[in-house]
């Protein structure tokens, strides 16, 4: 009887793995880079995370001098010079994001920094439009975003007196991607390319900005890995710190990043990301435009979820590839495949061929039910037929 229990438990694990809803949004990108898809209509996705942040901004010399007692200001200037200085603070900043599907081709995103270390952080709203075919698992996609950022950063750059925060910033962004899983199911690789007319809202009064980012992701069944990069173009504007900047752009700023993503259960996705400037990994603090190293972790989950056609097709491809993998393992090393399939908690797979699900002719030496029942031969034969019929129905459901 123990053999029968083992077989049925293994089949239950297989069915749970194959039929369990993999709640991963079709608009899932990587940190800092958007996918061209939108979420399903009526779906609501939320993300909560925390990231390291270096606040680097210039401080006028007269402001620094005022922080020192008047009797020592001349000594202060002799010691530190009369040039403007950079202020540097390392902070951990919370980040919140929500996405709502308005139509099959349209979504609204909202993200906010509840606290930036000194005050309420900036908030951004994005309205994304994508091209037709969004509900299919498309190979190539394209989308455009209308963005509005409500900045809380004080304008310290403009000539004259500084201005308070809450400055609305409007800009456009575009995104394209190529998803290879539909063409090459064994290679679930996705490439992303994004453009934006804004990189850092804190520097919007000091520089004209253009941002170009790309990423390559191995988008596996329950986990994935990615590498990403960016090229940032900054052109100085006339400020109180630099009244005559000229017309030339600064040398291009580069950054690279690596990350890991995994699913926790069937609802939550955990992401860990690290990025840095490959050419100035340690000297980032001498210019306000350079990008310091940053670590970010986040968890994403749906509040409302209706599986889209694109998500269903991706899940079916994953399950089909998973079954092929374990069939190949069983053919090469049946003993090891048995052990591995039972040890894998979320993808335990039984060797379907070895229990006659495809109605191969069973021999006495390969009958896995031999010795399980203690009835007469006719009763045993009838029970075998009944069990095989039920197992065949289960396999048809899994296909």
| Tokens 């809202």 belong to residue | 201
What letters, b where the CB count within 10 A reaches 16 and e where it falls short, cover 40-60?
bbebebebebebebebbbbee
Backbone angles phi, psi at 332, to 5 degrees: -80, -40
**DSSP summary character for residue 287:** S
169: burial class by Cβ within 10 Å (0-12, 13-18, 19+)?
A: middle
Q: Where exactly are the structural domains of the chain?
A: 2-19+313-398, 44-306
pLDDT digits (tens, 9 = 90+) for 13-61: 443 443 345 688 999 999 999 999 999 999 999 999 999 888 777 776 6
Distances (CA, A) of 7 to 13, 187, 342: 10, 31, 11
Specify the pLDDT at position 4.
43
Give 207's pLDDT tier (boundaries 50, 70, 90): very high
Q: In b/e form, how buried is each residue of 266-280, taking b as 16+ CB within 10 angstroms?
A: eeebebebbbbbeeb
- For residue 300, which of 36, 108, 94, 96 has the smallest C-alpha distance? 96
Cα-based angle 204, 210, 212 (whole degrees, multiple of 5) = 140
Looking at residue 322, its pLDDT comes to: 84
Residue 382, CB-side half-sphere exposure with 13 Å CA sphere: 4
- The pLDDT value recorded for residue 283 is 77
- The CATH fold assigned to 44-306 is Porin (2.40.160)
Which candidate, 161, 171, 176, 174, places its Cα nearest to that of 200? Answer: 171
Asked if residue 358 has pLDDT above 50, the reply is no
The token pair that represents 361 in the structure block: 């002719």
Q: Are 304 and 44 in contact (CB under 8 A)?
A: yes
Greatest mean pLDDT among 129-138, 329-338, 382-391: 129-138
Helices (H), the chain: 2-19, 61-66, 73-80, 309-332, 334-343, 377-398
Distance of CA 308 to the CA centre of its chain: 18
The number of CA neighbours under 13 Å toward the Cβ of 19 is 12
- Please state, in angstroms and rounded to a whole number, the distance separating the CA atoms of residues 245 and 236: 6
Give the rounded percent of residues in the chain with a pLDDT score beyond 90.
Answer: 47
Do the Cβ atoms of 215 and 228 come closer than 8 Å? yes
Tell whether the torsion through CA atoms of 203, 204, 206 and 209 is positive or negative. positive
Q: 278, 254 in Cβ contact below 8 A? A: yes
Please return the burial class of 188, using the count of CB atoms within 10 Å of its CB with bins 0-12, 13-18 and 19+. Answer: buried
Record the tokens describing residue 298, joined without a space: 């986040």
Q: 48-95, pLDDT tens digit by residue? A: 999 988 877 777 666 665 665 665 556 555 555 556 667 777 889 999
Range with the largest mean pLDDT of 118-127, 152-161, 178-187, 207-216: 207-216
pTM of the model: 0.74
Say if residue 23 is exposed, middle or buried (CB neighbours under 10 Å; 0-12, 13-18, 19+).
Answer: buried
Note the pLDDT tens digit of each residue in 228-250. 999 999 999 998 888 888 889 99
């Amino acid at each position: 009887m123990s053999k029968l229990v083992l077989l049925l438990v293994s089949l239950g694990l297989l069915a749970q793995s194959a039929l369990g809803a993999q709640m991963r949004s079709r608009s899932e990108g990587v940190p800092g880079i958007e996918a061209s898809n939108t979420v399903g209509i009526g779906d609501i996705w939320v993300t909560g995370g925390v990231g390291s942040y270096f606040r680097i901004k210039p401080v006028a010399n007269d402001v620094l001098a005022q922080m020192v007692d008047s009797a020592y200001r001349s000594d202060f200037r002799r010691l530190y010079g009369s040039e403007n200085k950079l202020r540097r603070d390392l902070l951990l900043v919370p980040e919140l994001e929500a996405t709502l599907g308005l139509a099959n081709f349209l979504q609204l995103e909202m993200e906010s920094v509840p606290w930036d270390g000194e005050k309420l952080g900036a908030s951004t709203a994005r309205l994304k439009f994508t091209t037709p075919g969004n509900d299919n698992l498309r190979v190539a996609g394209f989308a455009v975003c209308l963005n509005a950022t409500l900045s809380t950063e004080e304008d310290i750059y403009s000539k004259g007196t500084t201005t308070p925060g809450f400055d609305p910033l409007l800009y456009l962004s575009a995104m394209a991607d190529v998803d290879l899983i539909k063409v090459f199911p064994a290679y679930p690789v996705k490439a992303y390319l994004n453009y934006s007319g804004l990189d850092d809202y804190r520097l919007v009064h000091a520089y004209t900005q253009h941002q170009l980012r790309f990423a390559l992701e191995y988008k596996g069944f329950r986990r994935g890995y990615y590498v990403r990069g960016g090229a940032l173009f900054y052109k100085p504007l006339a400020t109180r710190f630099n009244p005559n900047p000229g017309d030339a752009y600064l040398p291009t700023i580069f950054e690279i990043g690596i990350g890991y993503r995994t699913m926790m259960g069937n609802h939550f996705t955990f992401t860990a990301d690290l990025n840095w400037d490959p050419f100035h990994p340690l000297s980032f603090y001498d210019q306000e435009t350079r990008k310091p190293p940053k670590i970010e972790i986040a968890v994403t989950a749906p509040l409302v979820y209706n599986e889209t056609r694109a998500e269903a097709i991706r899940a079916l491809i994953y399950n089909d590839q998973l079954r092929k993998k374990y069939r190949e393992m069983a053919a090469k090393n049946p003993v090891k495949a048995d052990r591995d399939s039972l040890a894998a908690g979320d993808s335990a797979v039984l060797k379907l061929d070895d229990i006659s699900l495809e109605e191969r002719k069973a021999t006495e030496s390969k009958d896995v039910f031999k010795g399980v029942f203690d009835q007469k031969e006719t009763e045993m034969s009838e029970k075998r037929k009944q069990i095989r019929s039920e197992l065949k129905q289960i396999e048809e459901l899994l296909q």
